[in-house]
Structure 1
Amino acid sequence: MKYKAYAAQSPTSQLAPTHIPRRVLGTSDVAIEIMYCGVCHSDLHAARGEWPGMRYPLVPGHEIVGRVSAIGASVTKHNVGDLVGVGCMVGSCRHCDSCDEGLEQYCEGPHGWQQTYNGWLDGSGENTYGGYADGITVDEHFVLKITHPESQLAAVAPLLCAGITTWSPLRHWQAGPGKKVGIVGIGGLGHMGVKLAHAMGAHVVAFTTSPAKVQAALELGADEVVVSRNPAEMAAHAKSFDFILNTVAAPHDLDAFMSLLKRDGTMTMVGVPDSPHPSPGVANLIFQRRQLAGSLIGGIAETQEMLDFCAKHGITSDIEMIEMNEIEAAFKRMQKSDVKYRFVIDMATI
């Protein structure tokens, strides 16, 4: 069986129409007709071969929402016609300590976890193809239930990456009532961080380098907004944060934010820069027992928890819909941060 898709045939080729194979439906598989797919910055990095180990042809897309079109004989969690989602993972070893704890993104199996596109993390086995296609077949364990209204499905798609990438650290470091939480960067990830932290009951302070984004951050749910290039605004928050979620992938001065943490406060990074951040000062950590941490997407159970929380609280991503043949133009705009805040492809246009 083959599906229509858009693929990069090499790091220097643009995404173009093609057909890709899909595996025969296994007993535990769910076949999904893809309705919408979000556009993540990772898709651009991968298509252009900016990360090592990229495999071609490469079909990006790991923010997938669609409808179940068929199920294997042993599938119990999903039925034909259900609205479902698929995020960044479609496989893991399922029996290591991390997988047993529902943290498949840290799978310690021999191949790591299996990416929705580009195959197993260690590069072994066959390639996998992502959501820039009209269908996908995935083991039911890695398929999420969508309970948002059908009218919101396009705006739900980015929750499968941007939503869980911010939800997982906010939950792990216990953002909520009585906590002062900072969100650094107001983009695809940051705008979800603000929405989620606000709905969790935290006092939310958004950080942006752009005064033009102050009003937008307030509208997203921030209680306060700090222009991080303003030393006086930064100094006013010294030693006051319980937790800071830093979504900025570009190299920048981490000490400026570490100094805003209380004793025992944590700043967690979720963006991977293409060159290292300037090294943070160790004294900044030692003298206040502060922590600099990292977090990677989220496990399947917490992704489902996030989707259910968002459905309950009416949370979706702020999106701009595009047609499939507009993807290269969208990539160029994304490189300029010219999107508010996430592109989503209407797969009916493929």
Structure 2
Amino acid sequence: MKVSSSLVALIGAASLAACGGGGSGGGGTSGPAPSPSPSPSPSPSPTFTYTKFADLSGDQDFPTACVEAEGSPIGTLRNAIPRQMGRNGNLIYTASTDSWAVNDGIGRNETFGPADLVSTTANSDSYEKPSGFGPLNRFQIFRNSNTGIDFEYMRSTFTLLFDGANPPGYTSCYFGVPTDPDDVPSDATVTYTDLRIGGFVIDEVPGGSPPSEFKTIIGGSGTLTGNTQSGELTIDISLTVEDAGGVQSTITPIQGTVGTEINGDVAGYSGFLNAGAVPEYTIAGGYFGPEGRETGFIFHAAIDQNADGVPERSIYGGVAAKR
């Protein structure tokens, strides 16, 4: 079956009936009075149906919204490329083999199946397999529900692939049961306040071994506000970061407005947050479930202070939101 089944019933009936008057005779009597015309039958509202992610069955070519970046010589990430929400073959599930075929958008492909599953938790499934070039290729699926927020239509992924000829490719996506572009909320403004934020920050350590330090984005706060008339989504979030020693810090503000993009039968958005500032964030996201009840986007920012092509800091992660 397909990821979602959007049934649009557009039925219009306008039945007009009129009976004309008869001719006049010797007594001047008139014919029967015209019958009143019935009012046109109102068109019923479109009907949209959605299958929750956990109830999907069969093969799936999932629509995805992704950001791909490449590793630098010191381990930070650079050259981020947003992938607009669409059915682009980036993530295909085959039911008969219980396997996932992933494509990072620049030519690297891998398939992960049950033999490659290394761990399963309440929030994620993690796969690993040899790349043939030393490091392991990795693939993770996140249910985004380990903070008590239950996402019914949306999931996210993280993929790390190697091909020996190029820098390692990092790709993160949101995917699932997409919102039909015609299934628009009746309210002029909608606000997402239930957010789950995750990811990582990599900072250069000059002269260090290793030359960079990995930190975890453990959460954050903020709101996403959608204008259903203009299709704009306004984002205002902050990130909470924790280093290996447990010391926490905050990255803020991260703000901006992006417009909705329709790509076939799915709706998403891409663009920039903190546009023109340092750091500037590249993002790509999509809407999932009835009336865009759930949304998620991937973000990436890189700070290259000396313009040598190797960022001293990179920030990479995702925001899952529900209203």
Q: Which has the larger radius of gyration?
A: 2
Q: Which of the pair is proportionally richer in helix? A: 1
Q: TM-score, normalised by structure 2?
A: 0.28
Q: Which of the pair is proportionally richer in strand? A: 2
